[in-house]
Amino acid sequence: MIEIAPSVLAADALRLGEDVRRLMDAGADLLHVDIMDAHFVPNLSFGPDLSRALRRGFPAVRQDVHLMMDNAEKYIEAFASAGADDITIHCELGDKVQPALDRIHALGLRAGLSLKPGTPAQALAPYLDSVDLVLIMTVEPGFGGQKMMPEALDKALRLREMGYHGLISADGGLNAQNAALAVRAGVRRLVMGTALFGAPDPAAAIAEIRALEKA
């Protein structure tokens, strides 16, 4: 089953709640919440209070929180208590990764691991038994509205060859036109910002992507 996860980074900050309501009503499955620390990536986005507000406004909507932070391990509790369901950290954090994944699981959440375009799938090998999802970055993380890097999708096949059978998500530059590439590669959670929040008819865009399940 394909999951469609609008990335709230692309929402209109002045009408974020309305924008999210519009996309959930259009058939989106869950929300992707991009947290950026202006250090791990060259942009600054939101804090736990956004997750808390989304939980208050959309109590039934799953929150897929993506921590693009150098000290992500220090914010796991804060996002867990604010409203995260899934917390994804980056494998580039090195020896902080395993304790952070263990902490996410200890709090009863699903743990994800992401890798930048320049990081090979092999870097995830030590952690594949400890994650519920792998988030393949198909852009250099930090900003929405970039062009998808299709070569990053090759990592999905590589992950399967490495014996990973869990959920694979892709994030960055995805749209109704290139989603088929991601689905064919084995991606089942599509993170989409600009393509959904900027869509004149998000329900049509979502329906077009859903149709890929039958393709």
Nearer to Zn ion (CB atom), residue 85 or residue 171: 171
Instruction: For the segment 182-201, give every residue that binds ligand DX5 (CB under 6 A).
Output: 191-195
Instruction: Kindly tell me the burial class for residue 108, based on how many C-beta atoms sit within 10 Å of its own C-beta (0-12, 13-18, 19 or more).
Output: exposed
Which of 34, 64, 73, 85: binder of Zn ion (CB under 5 A)? 34
Q: Is position 34 annotated as part of the catalytic site?
A: yes
66 is an interface residue for Zn ion by CB under 5 A: yes
By a kind-dependent CB cut-off of 5 to 8 A, residue 93 interacts, out of Zn ion, ligand DX5, none, with: none
Whether 3 contacts 196, CB under 8 Å: no
- Rounded distance, CA 140 to CA 171, Å? 10
- Rounded distance, CA 7 to CA 51, Å? 13
Type of residue numbered 14: L
By a kind-dependent CB cut-off of 5 to 8 A, residue 174 interacts, out of ligand DX5, Zn ion, none, with: ligand DX5
141 is an interface residue for ligand DX5 by CB under 6 A: yes
By a kind-dependent CB cut-off of 5 to 8 A, residue 3 interacts, out of ligand DX5, Zn ion, none, with: none
E strand map for the chain: 3-6, 31-36, 63-68, 86-90, 110-115, 133-137, 167-171, 189-192
Instruction: For the segment 171-200, give every residue that binds Zn ion (CB under 5 A).
Output: 171
Of all helices (H) and strands (E), which one includes residue 56? Answer: helix 48-57
Q: How many residues bind Zn ion (CB under 5 A)?
A: 3
Instruction: For the segment 145-174, give every residue that binds ligand DX5 (CB under 6 A).
Output: 145-146, 171-174
Q: Is position 102 annotated as part of the catalytic site?
A: no
Which of 19, 26, 32, 183: binder of ligand DX5 (CB under 6 A)? 32
Query: Using CB atoms, what's the residue nearest to ligand DX5?
Result: 193
Nearer to Zn ion (CB atom), residue 29 or residue 34: 34
- Rounded distance, CA 115 to CA 212, Å? 25
**Of 150, 146, 208, 154, nearest in space to 176 by CA:** 208
Which member of 29, 34, 85, 86 is catalytic? Answer: 34
Residue with tokens 């058939």: 27
- State the residues that interact with ligand DX5 by CB under 6 A: 7, 9-10, 32, 34, 66, 139, 141-142, 144-146, 171-174, 191-195
